[in-house]
């Protein structure tokens, strides 16, 4: 009993920090941190293998707070265990430019492994962490030396389980036997609207059994039970584990615990006084006694753990020097030293071939060339590999070989994309994922999170327009490219042929501060001849593909399949320049002199042509220009008939140019 009471006092440090910070901010969610404090006490003080002095230690356990609204739980844990997160930082909770924003944000506070808040995506990231750990371990561990060996611990709540993405990713986690994934479900029965039994009556235990998980049930305030369940979870190497923890939200608050009142609002000053009394906590706000700090401090233990791993890695380095160098390179996120040169050689060879093929096929050819150079590539598709052409000859599925390099995600676009974010966050891999462009909509929020967290994920989207033909309006993307282009920190490429496709891949792979979307055609696209200078300028996102004959009177801007339409129109016009703009985001980042050389300001007669929604292009053509594209949904018919029906033709481009001149 004494031990239990002492542990409760240690856990109460989380409760008081959470309620104090939320009260001071007059905003936040105190209930989840107060309810999960006992679980966090056991996991963080007894099981989590981490080093607060080096939050990026490669073999650390990963922790994900999927129910990210309870962010003060994680901030309190980071502060108490010794990370560089001061009590003053906690006092600045939810304030401008603080290290402690309303939800855990990657890059703000040390020890935050991923941005959480959009419910369900945290558990998806955790599945990605677990896949990355298992695959990296299979690729690098030796029979006599294990250098990759860590767990992923995830906290989640009712909201995460209600979101459909949790089904997608937890189903796949069971299929892939992710035995080092341990998830704690905060089963408190309360969400913002009240008691969840009126809208969430699932049998969660049976649901996860059906996925192939190990499922355990505990009292979420019984630290002995939580400890035993965690040991049982770690003993199961072939199944992920869900520990259902029955908790009381806001535990300790005499008048608000167990109620929605403490879910998303401060307790109130009077209730905090009563809560302190109920907890037997006599210190002022934000004051933690020295003995409590000592009980939480993980710095010495963490340094010892990392040092022990360093000694093992030193042995690994001595015995397997090639693998050690490769592992360090991949963890650092660096590409092989000769990658750029070899990529450029492939691009030159592609240019010399001059093939007329679909850009989805050009993408596969590029993967076939780049894949053997980049063992860190970990690809996948949402059950469309034969259409996306994401498989190359060296691919091997991780479901058959844990050391493989390809994930068959099944029809799980949202889950796939959020898992890829987790894989990228883990390190050691560059993930690429694929689906039809139309079904990017299922994954939209996870694409946004790729960009928000600045992760190197390659999003491959094929069947890019009405050019996919007979499948009709449900499958023909219209507004999706504009949506992607409107996403900050996402580079969206829509290449016109084989060369632009290869350069788009090279750009995405070399980029280390954000994701790339590749928009690829189903139909064959003609090859465009270029000079050496034009070839170099593709990487700048936009360039002059065809110079004007005589005085410059008008400019045609095009991307993807419509570049050829622009070139056909060009052949019938004088004084017209064709600009191919495969990546507008990169083009606008070029210096003013280059942009002016491509799109002279004084030339106001401009026409943009793209088989997508017209609205994006007005900023490039101005109110005096014209945009040829889509303003409605598509129809079911062969591609050639659709382009004619919707007026995306050579003749339409010619007439538009004449009109603006």
Per-residue pLDDT tens for 268-277? 999 999 999 9
Ligand-binding site membership of 263 (annotated): yes
Q: How far is CA 505 from CA 68, 208, 293, 340, 582, in A?
A: 33, 38, 49, 11, 12
Burial of 543 (0-12, 13-18, 19+ CB in 10 A): buried
The answer to whether the annotation marks 381 as part of a ligand binding site is no
**Reported pTM:** 0.98
Which listed residue (7, 105, 306, 413) is catalytic? 413
CATH 3.40.50.920 spans which residues of the chain?
Answer: 539-660
360 has binding-site annotation = yes
Residue 439 among known ligand-binding residues: yes
Q: Which CATH class is domain 539-660?
A: alpha beta
Q: Is 158 annotated as a binding residue?
A: yes
Q: Where in the chain is the domain with CATH 3.40.50.970?
A: 5-303, 338-519
Residues composing the chain: 661
Q: Is 522 annotated as a binding residue?
A: yes
- The reply to whether 159 sits in an annotated binding site is yes
Cβ 606 vs Cβ 660: under 8 Å: yes
Please indicate if the annotation marks 463 as binding a ligand: yes
Residue 149 annotated as binding site:
no
Residue 4 has a pLDDT of: 62
Q: Classify 609 as helix, strand or coil.
A: strand
Which residues in the chain show pLDDT less than 50?
A: 1-2
The SS3 call for residue 105 is coil
Contact between 598 and 544 (Cβ < 8 Å): yes
pLDDT at residue number 1: 39
**Cα–Cα distance, 35 to 529 (Å, whole number):** 65
Residue 21's nearest CA partner among 10, 34, 8 is 34
Q: Kindly give the residue spans of alpha helices, DSSP state H, lying in 86-222.
A: 87-91, 121-140, 158-162, 164-175, 204-211
**Are 518 and 390 within 8 A, CB to CB?**
no
User: What does the alpha-carbon distance between residue 661 and residue 659 come to, in Å, rounded to a whole number?
Assistant: 6
The owner of tokens 């001061």 is: 86
**Residue 387 is labelled as binding a ligand:** yes
CB 582 within 8 A of CB 541: yes
Beta strand ranges found along 553-620 (DSSP E): 554-558, 576-580, 606-613
| CATH T-level fold of 5-303 | Rossmann fold (3.40.50)
- Respond yes or no: is residue 413 known to be catalytic: yes
Q: How far is CA 282 from CA 77, 221, 287, in A?
A: 20, 22, 9
Q: Is 118 annotated as a binding residue?
A: yes
- HSE-up of 449 (CA within 13 Å, CB side)? 29
CA–CA separation, 125 vs 113, rounded Å? 9
Partners of 51 in the beta sheet? none
Q: Hey, how many other C-beta atoms are within 10 angstroms of the C-beta on 653? A: 29
Domain 338-519 has CATH 3.40.50.2300: no
What is the bridge-based pairing of β-strands 576-580 and 543-546? antiparallel
């Amino acid at each position: 009993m004494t031990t239990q009471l002492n542990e409760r006092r240690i856990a109460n440090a989380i409760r008081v920090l959470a309620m104090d910070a939320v009260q001071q901010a007059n905003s936040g969610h105190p209930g989840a941190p107060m309810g999960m404090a006992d679980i966090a006490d056991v996991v963080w003080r007894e099981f989590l293998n981490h080093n607060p002095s080096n939050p990026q230690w490669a073999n650390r356990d990963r922790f994900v707070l999927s129910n990210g609204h309870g962010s003060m739980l994680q901030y309190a844990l980071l502060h108490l265990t010794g990370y560089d997160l001061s009590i003053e930082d906690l006092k600045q909770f939810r304030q401008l430019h603080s290290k402690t924003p309303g939800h855990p944000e990657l890059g703000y506070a040390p020890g935050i492994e991923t941005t959480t808040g959009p419910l369900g995506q945290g558990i998806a990231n955790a599945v990605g962490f677990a896949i990355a750990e298992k695959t990296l371990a299979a690729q690098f561990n030796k029979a006599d030396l294990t250098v990759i060996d860590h767990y992923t611990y995830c906290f989640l709540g009712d909201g995460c389980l209600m979101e459909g993405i949790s089904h997608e990713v937890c189903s796949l986690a069971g299929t892939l036997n992710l035995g080092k994934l341990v998830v704690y479900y905060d089963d408190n029965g309360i969400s913002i609207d009240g008691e969840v039994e009126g809208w969430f009556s699932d049998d969660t235990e049976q649901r996860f059994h059906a996925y192939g998980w190990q499922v355990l049930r505990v009292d979420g305030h019984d630290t002995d039970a939580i400890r035993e369940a965690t040991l049982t979870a770690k003993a199961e190497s072939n199944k992920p584990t869900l520990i259902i923890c029955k908790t009381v939200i806001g535990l300790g608050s005499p008048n608000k615990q167990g109620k929605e009142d403490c879910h998303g609002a401060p307790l109130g000053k009077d209730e905090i006084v009563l809560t302190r009394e109920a907890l037997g906590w006599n210190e002022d706000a934000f004051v933690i006694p020295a003995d409590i700090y000592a009980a939480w401090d993980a710095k010495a233990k963490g340094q010892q753990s990392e040092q022990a791993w360093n000694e093992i890695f030193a042995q690994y380095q001595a015995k397997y020097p090639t693998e050690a160098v490769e592992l360090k390179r991949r963890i650092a996120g660096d590409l092989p030293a000769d990658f750029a040169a070899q990529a450029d050689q492939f691009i030159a060879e592609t240019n010399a071939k001059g093939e007329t093929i679909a850009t989805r096929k050009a993408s596969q050819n590029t993967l076939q060339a780049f894949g053997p150079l980049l063992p860190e590539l970990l690809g996948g598709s949402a059950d469309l590999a034969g259409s996306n052409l994401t498989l190359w000859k060296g691919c091997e599925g991780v479901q058959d070989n844990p050391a493989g390099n390809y994930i068959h995600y099944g029809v799980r676009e949202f889950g796939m994309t959020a898992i890829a974010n987790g894989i990228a966050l883990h390190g050691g891999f560059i993930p690429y994922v694929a689906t039809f462009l139309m079904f990017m909509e299922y994954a939209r929020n996870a694409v946004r999170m790729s960009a928000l967290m600045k992760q190197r994920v390659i999003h491959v989207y094929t069947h890019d327009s009405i050019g996919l033909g007979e499948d009709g309006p449900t499958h023909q993307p219209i507004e999706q490219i504009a949506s992607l282009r409107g996403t900050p920190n996402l580079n969206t490429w829509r290449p016109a042929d084989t060369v632009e496709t290869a350069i788009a891949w090279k750009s995405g792979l070399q980029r280390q501060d954000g994701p790339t979307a590749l928009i690829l055609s189903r139909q064959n696209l003609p090859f465009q001849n270029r000079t050496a200078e034009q070839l170099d300028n593709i990487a700048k996102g936009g360039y002059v593909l065809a110079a004007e004959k005589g005085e410059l009177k008008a400019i045609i801007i095009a991307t993807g399949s419509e570049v050829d339409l622009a070139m056909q129109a060009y052949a019938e016009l004088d004084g017209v320049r064709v600009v191919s703009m495969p990546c507008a985001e990169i083009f606008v980042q070029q210096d003013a002199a280059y942009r002016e050389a491509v799109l002279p300001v004084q030339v106001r007669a401009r026409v943009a042509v793209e088989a997508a929604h017209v609205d994006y292009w007005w900023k490039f053509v101005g109110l005096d220009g014209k945009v040829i594209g889509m303003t409605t949904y598509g129809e079911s018919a062969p591609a050639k008939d659709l382009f004619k029906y919707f007026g995306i033709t050579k003749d339409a481009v010619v007439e538009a140019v004449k009109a603006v001149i």
